[in-house]
Structure 1
Amino acid sequence: MRRRITERARRIPRSVLAIGAVVVVVALVVGIAVVGNLVTTLFRTLAAAPPAVDTKIVVADESKAAQAARGDGADADQTAAAQWLAAQPTTYWLTPEIDPIDEVWDRVAHLAAEAREQKATLSVAVYGLPDRDCGNHSAGGLDPDSYREWTARIGDALANASDVRKIVILEPDSIALASSCGSIEDRAGYLRTAVDGIRGIDTWIYLDGGHSAWHPPAEMAGLLRATGLLSDVRGVALNVSNYQDTAAEFDYAHALSDQLGGLHAVIDTSRNGAGPAGSEWCNPSGRLVGSPGGTYGDGVVDTNLWIKPPGESDGSCNGGPDAGTWWPDAAVELTREQR
Structure 2
Amino acid sequence: MNRYGRAGVALVLALAVTACTGNPAPRTGRDRPEGQTSSAGSPDSGTVRFYVDSEGAAAQEAGRLQREGKAEEAALVRRIADRPNAVWIGDPDPLARVADITEKARRAGQVPVLVAYHIPDRDCGQFSAGGAASPDEYRAWIGRFAEGLGGRPAWVVLEPDALAHVLDNCTRGGKAAERLDLLRGAVETLKRQPGARVYLDAGNAGWIRNPDEWIDPMRRAGIDRADGFAFNVSNFFTTEESVAIAGRLSEGLGGTPYVIDTSRNGNGPLRGAQGDDAWCNPAGRALGAEPTTRTGHERVDAFLWVKRPGESDGECHRGEPGAGQWFHAYALDLARNAR
For normalisation by structure 2, the TM-score amounts to: 0.77
Aligned to 1:214: 207
Q: Residue 113 and residue 226 in structure 1: after superposition, are their counterparts in 2 closer, same or farther (change >3 A)?
A: closer
Is contact 1:287-1:333 (8 Å) kept?
Answer: yes
Is contact 2:199-2:230 (8 Å) kept?
Answer: yes
1:198 is the counterpart of 2:190? yes
**CA drift at 1:78:** 4.8
| Counterpart pick for 2:171 among 157, 182, 201 | 182
Aligned to 2:90: 95
Q: Residue 243 and residue 338 in structure 1: after superposition, are their counterparts in 2 closer, same or farther (change >3 A)?
A: closer
Q: Residue 89 and residue 132 in structure 1: after superposition, are their counterparts in 2 closer, same or farther (change >3 A)?
A: same
Aligned to 1:237: 230
Aligned to 1:21: none
Q: Residue 47 and residue 259 in structure 1: after superposition, are their counterparts in 2 closer, same or farther (change >3 A)?
A: farther
Note the 1:14-29 alignment, pairs <5 A: none
Give unmatched runs, 5+ long, in structure 1.
1-45
Q: Secondary structure at the match of 1:168?
A: strand
How far, CA to CA, are the matches of 2:52 and 2:286 in structure 1? 20
Aligned to 1:167: 155
**CA drift at 1:74:** 7.7
How far, CA to CA, are the matches of 2:257 and 2:190 in structure 1? 19
Give unmatched runs, 5+ long, in structure 2.
1-37
| Matched residue type, 1:167 | W
Q: Residue 74 and residue 273 in structure 1: after superposition, are their counterparts in 2 closer, same or farther (change >3 A)?
A: farther
Note the 1:23-102 alignment, pairs <5 A: 48=40, 50-51=42-43, 54-71=47-64, 76=70, 78-96=73-91, 100-101=92-93
**CA drift at 1:49:** 6.4
1:154 is the counterpart of 2:145? yes
**CA drift at 1:192:** 2.7
How far, CA to CA, are the matches of 2:41 and 2:327 in structure 1? 36
Is contact 2:41-2:154 (8 Å) kept?
Answer: no
How far, CA to CA, are the matches of 2:56 and 2:165 in structure 1? 27
For normalisation by structure 1, the TM-score amounts to: 0.77
How far, CA to CA, are the matches of 2:184 and 2:220 in structure 1? 12
Could you say what the CA RMSD is over the residues aligned between the two structures, in angstroms? Answer: 2.4
What do the CA deviations read for 1:80-136 (whole angstroms, capped 9, x no partner)?
43333111111111112xxx31xx222122212222232211210111110000011
How far, CA to CA, are the matches of 2:69 and 2:120 in structure 1? 38
| Matched residue type, 1:257 | S
Q: Secondary structure at the match of 1:176?
A: helix
How far, CA to CA, are the matches of 1:307 and 1:338 in structure 2? 17
Q: Secondary structure at the match of 2:264?
A: coil
1:330 is the counterpart of 2:323? no
| Matched residue type, 1:331 | A
**CA drift at 1:316:** 0.8
What do the CA deviations read for 1:19-40 (whole angstroms, capped 9, x no partner)?
xxxxxxxxxxxxxxxxxxxxxx
Q: Secondary structure at the match of 2:224?
A: helix
**CA drift at 1:297:** 4.1
Aligned to 2:284: 286
Is contact 1:90-1:305 (8 Å) kept?
Answer: yes
Is contact 2:286-2:338 (8 Å) kept?
Answer: no
Name the % identity: 38
**CA drift at 1:64:** 2.0
Aligned to 1:123: 113
Equivalences, count = 285
| Counterpart pick for 1:246 among 239, 242, 257 | 239
